[in-house]
């Protein structure tokens, strides 16, 4: 089992440590509800150093990234970030990831450079998949094991973090980044993406400096350490997909509502584009929806979704008690006739069925 550079700190804070994606990670420090609301109302810091990072650099780096990504990286410029799917020849999702167009001060003439941020459970798989497509004048560097990542999320994050850097954080737009000195550490990449919907930043640094970064952030007024449990409920309230639950290699982006990150007019075309388009044109495909469950039972991954006549129409992929709404919420795939907001469905939990209503995502508007 792998460890992040901060595992001992999490243990000293009394975190419940669980195995996740091959790492020992903090699930919670207090309660998931308390940590969730701390992020929604103030700010919290997550250790997400288990995530993977690849550098793609060279004269044909753009062509390689274009080939494996569903989105159009030609629209990126240095300092800009993009959300995309890593695609395969079947037109389904190998992973979802972020692509950073890096500043080119360390590139030779004619070169460009990207950083791909992938899910921890998929690091080896993603690396092998991209490397198998690399017939270009491009180098790939896996920096996952030496890179730490902290996410500071919440409405007070900008105000609180500003004291640790001379970079004007208010001037970093959503899905942009800068690189500079932060908490006395040089070459920290400061990114405004986020997986909670509450705003904030991600801080990429070498593992050697991660403890210093954590110590300075946790001193800031009211910032709480947050575990993976609250990270899951926060992203679910926003309707963000989790790889392995809501999306995987059996799912097309169009089924998951991710057509907006699939650009079919770019060159080179992404892997599996024709098969992706075939699924997109099939109006009888499955659709990922959100729903609110009546009662107090929690919908779990794998539970059957039924129509009002008890016919199976789909399956739950994610579910939790929403700390903000105080009701059970979930996502799952259903057939076409049940995808509209307001549609009545049922969730089968053990031998009982519970009424639910399809709702528009996100569940909460911040």
pLDDT tens column, 117-170: 999 999 999 999 999 999 999 999 999 999 999 999 999 999 999 999 999 999
Cross-strand pairs, 96: 85
Q: What is the pTM of this model?
A: 0.97
Cross-strand pairs, 355: 346
- Relative to beta strand 44-47, strand 224-226 is parallel
Q: What is the mean pLDDT of residues 41-61?
A: 98
Complete domains list, the chain, with CATH:
2-49+146-237 (3.30.1360.120), 286-359 (2.40.30.110)
Confidence of residue 104 (pLDDT cuts 50, 70, 90): confident
Scan for tokens 């970064």, then name that residue. Answer: 213
Contact 318, 233 (CB under 8 A): no
Distance CA 273, CA 174 (A): 28
Contact 17, 27 (CB under 8 A): yes
Which residue in 362, 363, 357, 336 sits closest to 291, CA to CA? 357
Contact 130, 291 (CB under 8 A): no
Contact 178, 111 (CB under 8 A): no
Distance CA 30, CA 13 (A): 10
Average pLDDT of the chain to the nearest whole number? 97
Share of the chain above pLDDT 90, in %: 97
Secondary structure (3-state) at 272: coil
- Per-residue b or e along 107-120, where b marks 16 or more CB atoms closer than 10 Å to that residue's CB: beeebbbbbbbbbb
pLDDT of residue 105: 81
CA angle 106, 108, 110 (to 5 degrees): 125
Q: Which two tokens stand for residue 260?
A: 């907006």
Q: Which two tokens stand for residue 193?
A: 């993406």
pLDDT tens column, 275-319: 999 999 998 999 999 999 999 999 999 999 999 999 999 999 999
Distance CA 217, CA 9 (A): 13
Helical packing angle, 123-132 and 61-68, nearest 10°: 120
pLDDT tens column, 219-267: 999 999 999 999 999 999 999 999 999 999 999 999 999 999 999 999 8
């Amino acid at each position: 089992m792998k460890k992040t550079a901060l595992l001992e700190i999490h243990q000293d804070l009394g975190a419940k440590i669980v195995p996740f994606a091959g790492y020992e990670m903090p699930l919670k420090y207090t309660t998931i509800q308390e940590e969730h609301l701390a992020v929604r109302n103030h700010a919290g810091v997550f250790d997400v150093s288990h995530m993977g990072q690849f550098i793609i650099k060279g004269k044909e780096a753009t062509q390689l990234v274009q080939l494996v990504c569903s989105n159009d990286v030609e629209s990126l410029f240095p300092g800009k970030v993009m959300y995309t799917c890593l695609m395969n020849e079947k037109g389904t999702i190998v992973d979802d990831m972020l692509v950073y167009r890096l500043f080119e001060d360390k590139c030779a003439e004619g070169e460009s450079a990207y950083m791909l941020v992938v899910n921890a459970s998929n690091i080896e798989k993603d690396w092998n998949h991209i490397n198998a497509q690399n017939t270009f004048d491009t180098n790939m560097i896996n920096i996952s094991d030496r890179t730490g990542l902290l996410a500071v999320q919440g409405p007070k994050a900008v105000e609180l973090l500003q004291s640790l850097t001379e970079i004007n954080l208010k001037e970093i737009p959503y899905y942009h980044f800068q690189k500079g000195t932060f908490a006395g550490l040089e070459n920290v990449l400061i990114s405004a993406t986020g997986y909670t919907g509450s705003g904030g930043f991600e801080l990429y640094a070498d593992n050697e400096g991660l403890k210093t970064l954590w110590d300075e952030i946790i001193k800031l007024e009211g910032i709480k350490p947050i575990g993976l449990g609250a990270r899951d409920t926060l992203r679910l309230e926003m309707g963000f997909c989790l790889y392995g639950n809501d999306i995987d290699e059996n799912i097309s982006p169009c089924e998951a509502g991710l057509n907006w990150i699939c650009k079919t007019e770019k060159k080179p075309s992404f892997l599996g584009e024709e098969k992706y388009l075939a699924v997109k044109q099939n109006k009888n495909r499955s659709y990922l929806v959100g729903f609110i469950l009546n009662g107090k039972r929690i919908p779990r991954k794998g539970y059957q979704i039924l129509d009002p006549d008890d016919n199976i129409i789909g399956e739950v992929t994610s579910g939790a008690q929403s700390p903000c709404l105080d009701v059970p919420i979930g996502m799952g795939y259903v057939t076409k006739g049940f995808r509209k907001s307001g549609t009545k469905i049922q969730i089968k939990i053990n031998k009982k069925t519970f009424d639910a209503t399809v709702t528009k995502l996100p569940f909460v508007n911040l």
